[in-house]
Amino acid sequence: MVQATNLGFPRIRETKKIVESFWAGKVTEQAVDEAAVKLRAENWKLQQAQGLSQIPSGDFSFYDHVLDHSVMFNVIPQRFRHLRDGHERNFAIGRGIQKPATETQEKVDIEAQEMKKWFDTNYHYIVPEFETNQTFHLGAQVKTVQEFNEAKALGIHTRPVVLGPLSFLLLGKAAKNSAGLDLLSLLPKVLPVYEELFAKLAEAGADWIQVDEPCLGLDVAPAVIAHYHTTYTRLTAAAPKLKFLIATYFGRIGNNVSFIKDSGVAGLHIDLVRAPEQLEHVIANLNQSQVLSLGLVDGRNIWKTNLANALKIAQAAVQALGSERVFIAPSCSLLHAPVTLRFEKRLASKHAELFDWLAYSEEKCKEVHTLAHALNHGVDSVKAELADNARSIEARRTSAHTTNSAVRQRLEAIEPEQLRRRSAFPERQTKQHAAHPLPAFPTTTIGSFPQTKARAKFTKGEIDAAAYNEFIKKEIAYCVEEQEKLNIDVLVHGEAERNDMVAYFGERLEGYIFSENGWIASYGSRCVRPPIIFGDVHRVNPMTITETVYAQSLTSKPMKGMLTGPVTCLQWSFVRDDIPRSVVCTQLALAIRDEVVDLEKAGIIHIQVDEPAIREGLPLRAIDFDFYLQWAVDAFLLSTTGVNDTTVIHTHMCYSDFQDIFQAIVRMDADVLTIENSKSDMRILGAFSTHGYNAEIGPGVFDIHSPRVPSVQEMKERADAMLQYIPRRNLWINPDCGLKTRGWKEVRESLTNLVAVAEALRASE
Ligand code: MET
Ligand SMILES: [Zn+2]
């Protein structure tokens, strides 16, 4: 029998409320636990109702599953160890903790553990911190075992999910006191604890267990693959009752598959959505009894699966392996997909055509079941489901609403000179400085200023459109006035009208729709609701001109226009999968290009096109980098090069992992680049120039993620250090990202100090 399985279920939206109430001190730890028990039960039952035969357990988390795993293995950094074991400590590891001193207690102020992007998703995990004399052990309560038992008590036999030892170590980092630690040197210490965990699971009655090893989708050295081999040979031998399913996702396993055959593992899960071409190669690398779990339903997007196509692939696998050796599954954990379409009332009634194309997690589980059923009992046994699916797929394929011939023609007609500024940077810089002189070390901000609640009221319908517009104008005026008082050189309008830097543009472009409940986890209790790109994207009307021109009318200083770049719009949306992402990105680029040109026409001479997500889109394998960077940078160029030499194009990026993309940044050919530099790694600035970056640059002089007000002296020291790598005429002084999460008081104080730094630098010229 082919099994219908799942790798993980979303958990976040429902947990948000209870977790945030707990943080606010409104509910007890016990209430949190009770809510969790209820939610898990609901999720398991829901998956069972969809007909899955292997349902995951242990995938639940209140904050992050990697954090939970670290805690389960007692990998708790020194600075948190004195806190009481429990939710409060776990949340403290994720978010840091600050408590004022009381009569009975000293002040508490502990920095959170580092958060990092989970592969190429927009989910963030808490990076495990390992020490040289790290010890590992399980506590009295073992989360994975507990949750397995919890499901068992409900009569549901689940497949426990555990983060595998190699990925656990490789995704971590050395603690500050353990610089230079070779993470894999901890294997001999961690494996006995994994053995203990697996023994407990076997004792509790588990048979299949899912061991996630997402690092197998990366370029890993042969030495690491050798570790995989010895590790799994050992773990499987120690737990003869368990069947290990190694789960890979987000791409192809490639030659990393080589260790599987004689490693003792019972099965392997592969992502056939991202990498359908790997099927044959993987099958050829399995032994005679190993199971292959086929990730055929996209776990990272919201479109219905083309079941006929998926069935063909599955049938080929069944033919090669036999039905006992095939599982059907989503491509990855459904953590990255919204929960259910049941609550999308507005889409269902107002956009019935599009609604019919969608599948969230609940519906994806059903698709998995339908595929398995068709394989086990013949296609006729699910005739109605398959016919329904074929009808939706065909309706989407032939819809008049996804294609716009004018957009297609415009794309065809793109000429190479539309990807180039008229002159090279040095010539542009001379012209720009002559046409619009600025003081040395110009000061600016990244775009957003502290936000007020009125926009939320407007969405709730409490104030009407006219009142709302008046309100936005006031906010802009206030923001401009404050910046003038602070004596900043290049001003911004503050982005008061923008809920979200991607959704704002999505709402103004054709080709997008918005869901009510398409929430996915971003980090901790934070969820995002990515807009949905379903059709050809194009701009109908200007999107930012009114606000920008109004803001410019209030000041004689230059007002910087503020746009979100095409790659970031792409990266932070659910993107149609019927045409290549590169094509969607090019369409977005043309829309932004029109806006850039219109801003210039309206007299705006500084225009910033933000691309914070360009690094995140980088593929997982180095061999795929060039292809991505080619189209991504081309899209940025297409959006920004329609202007005169005297117009200053800015861009902004805020993930400091620039190592892999220097050349791409150079090729983006912006006049000014503002970047996050809060980690103060000055060497990175040196690397910019080594890689040929010669344009203007503003490495943030303060970290906006913290409410702390930086002193003049500390920022001046940072700027002085920057000057060792950056010529004086190219250095801008700015914070490292937008200020919308901060309060006005601290922003005013921080920026007063920031301007003082620029003045001090000028004085020393
Ligand atoms: C995540 S980058 C944010 C850039 C945007 N212009 C802002 O200031 O909010
Ligand atoms: Zn930023």
ipTM of this complex: 0.99
Active site (annotated) includes residue 436: no
In the prediction, which pLDDT does 44 show?
97
Q: Which residues contact 102 (CB under 8 A, 6 or more apart)?
A: none
Distances (CA, A) of 262 to 228, 234, 256: 11, 11, 13
In the prediction, which pLDDT does 621 show?
96
Q: Which residues are annotated as a binding site for 5-methyltetrahydropteroyltri-L-glutamate?
A: 16, 122, 526-527, 572
Q: Which of 646, 546, 567 has its CA nearest to residue 609?
A: 567
d(CA 235, CA 195): 6
Which residues hold their Cβ within 5 A of ligand 2, which is an ion? Answer: 612, 654, 737
Please say if the pLDDT value at position 286 is more than 80.
yes
The mean of the pLDDT values for the chain is 94
The whole-number average pLDDT for the span 334-343 is 96
Distances (CA, A) of 575 to 123, 471, 512: 17, 33, 9
User: For residue range 562-606, what is the model confidence (pLDDT) as tens digits?
Assistant: 999 999 999 999 999 999 999 999 999 999 999 999 999 999 999
User: For residue range 715-745, what is the model confidence (pLDDT) as tens digits?
Assistant: 999 999 999 999 999 999 999 999 998 899 9
**Residue 548 in tokens:** 């920008």
User: For residue range 373-386, what is the model confidence (pLDDT) as tens digits?
Assistant: 999 999 999 999 99
Q: Which of 591, 554, 556 has its CA nearest to residue 570?
A: 591
In the prediction, which pLDDT does 15 show?
83
- The alpha carbon of 556 and the centre of ligand 1 are apart by a number of angstroms equal to 24
Residue 511 in contact with residue 377, Cβ under 8 Å?
A: no
Task: Report the percent of the chain where pLDDT is more than 90.
Answer: 84
532-539: strand order across its sheet: 509-513, 532-539, 574-575
Is residue 716 classed exposed, middle or buried when 0-12, 13-18 and 19+ CB atoms within 10 A define those classes?
buried
In the prediction, which pLDDT does 656 show?
65
- The alpha carbon of 515 and the centre of ligand 1 are apart by a number of angstroms equal to 23
Of the candidate ranges 457-466, 715-724, 741-750, the one whose mean pLDDT is the lowest: 457-466
The whole-number average pLDDT for the span 308-330 is 98
**Residue 207 in tokens:** 């048979």
Query: Cα-flanking dihedrals φ and ψ of residue 400, to 5°?
Result: -75, -10
Output the CATH code of domain 424-763. 3.20.20.210
Across 500-654, the runs of DSSP E, i.e. the strands, are 509-513, 520-523, 526-528, 532-539, 560-564, 574-575, 606-610, 648-653
The whole-number average pLDDT for the span 323-334 is 98
**Residue 324 in tokens:** 């006992």
Same fold across 3-85+107-398 and 424-763? yes
The whole-number average pLDDT for the span 484-510 is 96
Which of 560, 737, 739, 747 most suits a substitution to test ligand 1, by most atoms within 8 Å of the C-beta?
737
pTM assigned to the model: 0.94
The whole-number average pLDDT for the span 161-177 is 96
Of the candidate ranges 31-45, 435-449, 501-515, 696-710, the one whose mean pLDDT is the lowest: 696-710
| Confidence class for position 184, pLDDT limits 50, 70, 90 | very high
Please say if the pLDDT value at position 65 is more than 90.
yes
| Confidence class for position 94, pLDDT limits 50, 70, 90 | confident
- The alpha carbon of 673 and the centre of ligand 2 are apart by a number of angstroms equal to 11
| Confidence class for position 264, pLDDT limits 50, 70, 90 | very high
Output the CATH code of domain 3-85+107-398. 3.20.20.210
DSSP state, 499? S
The whole-number average pLDDT for the span 392-406 is 97
DSSP state, 10? -
Give the Cβ contact number of residue 459 at 10 Å. 11
The whole-number average pLDDT for the span 297-312 is 98
The structural domains of the chain, with segments of one domain joined by +, span 3-85+107-398, 424-763
d(CA 336, CA 303): 13
- The alpha carbon of 329 and the centre of ligand 1 are apart by a number of angstroms equal to 37
| Confidence class for position 683, pLDDT limits 50, 70, 90 | confident
Give me the catalytic one of 137, 377, 433, 705: 705
Q: Which residues contact 141 (CB under 8 A, 6 or more apart)?
A: none
**Which atom of ligand 1 lies nearest, measured to the CA of 498?**
9
In the prediction, which pLDDT does 706 show?
76
Task: Report the percent of the chain where pLDDT is more than 70.
Answer: 98
| Top mean-pLDDT range of 441-455, 502-516, 703-717 | 502-516
d(CA 172, CA 44): 30
Which of 497, 607, 610 most suits a substitution to test ligand 1, by most atoms within 8 Å of the C-beta?
610
Residue 448 in contact with residue 491, Cβ under 8 Å?
A: no
In the prediction, which pLDDT does 140 show?
85
In the prediction, which pLDDT does 404 show?
97
List pocket residues of ligand 1, CB cut-off 6 Å. 446-448, 495, 501, 562, 610, 612, 652, 654, 737-738, 740
Please say if the pLDDT value at position 453 is more than 80.
no
Across 614-690, the runs of DSSP E, i.e. the strands, are 648-653, 672-675
Please say if the pLDDT value at position 459 is more than 70.
no
User: For residue range 417-443, what is the model confidence (pLDDT) as tens digits?
Assistant: 999 999 999 999 999 999 999 999 999
